[in-house]
Amino acid sequence: MTKDLTVGKPLKSIVLFMLPIMVGNIFQQLYSMVDTIIVGQTISAQALAGVGVTNSMSLLIIGFVQGLTSGFSVKTSQMFGAHDEDGVKRSLAASLALSTVISVALTFVAVYTTMPLLRLIDTPEDVIGYSYDYIVAVYWGLAATVFYNLGSAMLRAVGDSRTPLIFLILAALLNVGLDFLFILEFDMGVAGAGWATVVSQAVSAIGCFAVMFAKFPVYRIGFKHFASSVKFYWQHMALGLPMALQFSIIAVGIMVQQSALNALGSVAVTAYTAANKIDSIINQSLAALGAAVATFCGQNYGAGKYDRIRQGVRLSMAVGIVCSLIGFAFVALLAKPLTALFSNEITEEILDLSRQYLIWQGAMYIFLTAIYVYRNALQGIGKSTFAMLGGGIEVVMRVLASLLLAKALGYTGICVSNPAAWIGADIFFVISYYAVMRSLRRRKGILQTKEEPIDGDHIMLDAQTLSLFGEKRAAISAPAGREKVA
């Protein structure tokens, strides 16, 4: 069942749409966290650190994929909001074709640059082998990640946030079972954790597309729908590429941050890895809110309801602030017990470092909220370039903070670098959002001034008519049963 977000109360629409995404995101992060816990508990703390080192590299490629598929779905949601069924079909076809080509190219680039990147970020020698084995397995299965993200994004574009959740829960449960099977029974080491993730996402992707084609007639495409113009395909790339580059640009900053962290030794890397996994789960409510905002704004932009977009963004910020406060309370209370789950080799030093990181992040979640809301609002109305520029600002702030603060403050500097990046990006996104909305209101106002009301009906007067009659009102035919007016 599709969901039209252009009608009804904005707050209710956003929250109800957000909740299944949030649960799905949490499950997705949980099975990533389970990978890490199983590796730490069944192999070693060094293996745990090795998997953690790959976070920035994963974002570099997989974040690129997520941004790209999200951008494709923005075009789809705009066409759905405009009730253009043929356009929705052609958008899905274009997205499938582009995703196929890109997934093949990215796979080979990612696999053959893995070891050079691990060396570039100064990965400690006692963990680099684990890092390579894990991330290469994930990269070889990149197509599964691409099509899972595309299927989920396309379902959300037409208002269905529940179906991706169902298959994600299934994948999470499957991932746990496969982790134990591949690592303990098949003795595949950390590579087994990577392949477990790939197989689980492949199952989710197949499920999403099976339901999409069976449940939604608007997505039942044929060969003719692939025969769109080059311009139409480029419109998808124009939306997807800036969002993809935004994630990759951010990943570059995180890689610099990871390099500074690696220089502090494997104990700091282990603490950061555990804390980062916990942090990722806690802020999934904010990520889900961002996804809801993007779809809400995309549909309402397609419908021309700009005031509804403004109202939805304001309400989303209020929801995000509440989520931020709850998240901070959660990490402040449970930082150490949650960190202790990751390995039986966790020391008191690791527990303290992990809690320090989580307190710094949690206290600044409000600034992360603003990124998710304003960035995704801009993406939803098709201003993906602003997302990429904001990502550039974020990476500059993160790099400067990592290099300068880590050198001066050590591990504390690493903890502060993320909030510093969020604040820098917030300034850009908020200013850009309000500038874009003023432009949209001005454009809508210009269009409305060209309409002439007659007893509640609006008739458009063209420029030629106005030039002929000057200040006088044009003589036009009134609706049936009414007299002409001059």
Q: What is the pLDDT along the chain (486 residues), one digit of tens a residue?
A: 567 788 889 999 899 888 888 887 777 777 677 777 788 777 877 787 788 788 778 878 888 888 889 889 888 888 888 888 999 999 999 999 999 999 999 999 999 999 999 998 888 888 899 999 999 999 999 999 999 989 988 988 887 878 888 888 888 888 888 988 998 888 898 899 899 989 998 998 999 999 999 988 989 999 999 988 899 999 899 888 877 877 777 777 778 887 888 888 878 888 888 888 888 888 888 988 998 998 899 889 888 889 999 999 999 999 999 999 999 998 888 888 888 888 777 788 889 999 999 999 999 999 999 999 999 999 888 887 887 788 788 878 888 888 887 778 888 888 888 898 899 999 999 999 999 998 888 876 655 555 444 343 333 333 333 333 343 333 333 334 333 332
Token representation of residue 187: 């003795």
Residue 273 contacts residue 51 (beta carbons within 8 Å): yes
- Total structural domains in the chain? 1
Instruction: Report whether 35 contacts 261 (CB < 8 A).
Output: no
The kind and range of the H/E element at 458 are strand 457-460
CA distance 22 to 451: 43
Give the torsion through C-alpha atoms of 434, 440, 441, 443, to 10 deg.
Answer: 150
Examine residue 461 and state whether it is found in any structural domain, yes or no. Answer: no
CA angle 118, 36, 201 (to 5 degrees): 90
Tokens matching residue 292: 């809801």
Instruction: Tell me the residue range of the domain where 244 lies.
Output: 10-449
The whole-number pLDDT of residue 316 equals 95
Q: Tell me the helix, strand and coil percentages in the chain, rounded to 5.
A: 80, 0, 15
d(CA 65, CA 358): 27
Answer for the pair 440, 297: CB distance below 8 angstroms, yes or no: no
The answer to whether residue 479 is domain-embedded is no
What single letter denotes the amino acid at residue 310? R
**189: phi > 0 → left, psi -120 to 50 → alpha, else beta; which?**
left
Q: Which residues pair with 452 in a beta bridge?
A: 459
Residues 6+ apart with CB under 8 A from 73: 95, 150, 153, 154, 156, 157, 295, 298
In this structure, is residue 466 part of a structural domain?
Answer: no
Q: What are phi and psi of 459, to 5 degrees?
A: -120, 130
What are the b/e assignments for 163-173, b being 16+ CB within 10 Å?
Answer: bbbebbbebbe
Distances (CA, A) of 322 to 27, 315, 377, 402, 416: 21, 11, 19, 29, 22
Q: Which residue has the tokens 């495409």?
A: 221
Strand partners, 451: 460
Distance between CA atoms of residues 351 and 278, nearest Å: 13
- How high is the pLDDT of residue 332? 85
Is 469 domain-assigned?
no
Answer whether 276's CB lies under 8 Å from 360's CB. Answer: no
Spatial separation of the C-alpha atoms in residues 340 and 270, rounded to whole Å? 11
The answer to whether position 18 is within a domain reads yes
Report phi then psi at 482, rounded to 5: -120, 160
At 97 the pLDDT is 95
Asked if residue 483 belongs to a domain, the reply is no
Nearest CA-CA partner of 331 in 312, 358, 305 = 358
What's residue 135's pLDDT?
A: 93
Fill in the amino acid letter for 369: T
Report yes or no on 315 lying in a domain: yes
Count of CB atoms situated within 10 Å of the CB of 437: 18
pLDDT the model gives residue 446: 59
What SS3 state is found at 78?
A: helix
Distances (CA, A) of 337 to 33, 274, 330, 345, 448: 15, 11, 11, 14, 59
Whether the CB-CB separation of 457 and 477 falls below 8 Å is answered with: no
Report pLDDT for 31: 66
CB atoms within 10 A of CB 440: 17
465 assigned to some structural domain: no
Distance CA 375, CA 432 (A): 9
Whole-angstrom CA distances from 390 to 10, 44, 248, 374, 453 are 26, 38, 12, 10, 42
pTM: 0.67
Alpha carbon dihedral 174, 27, 415, 39, in 10-degree steps, equals -20
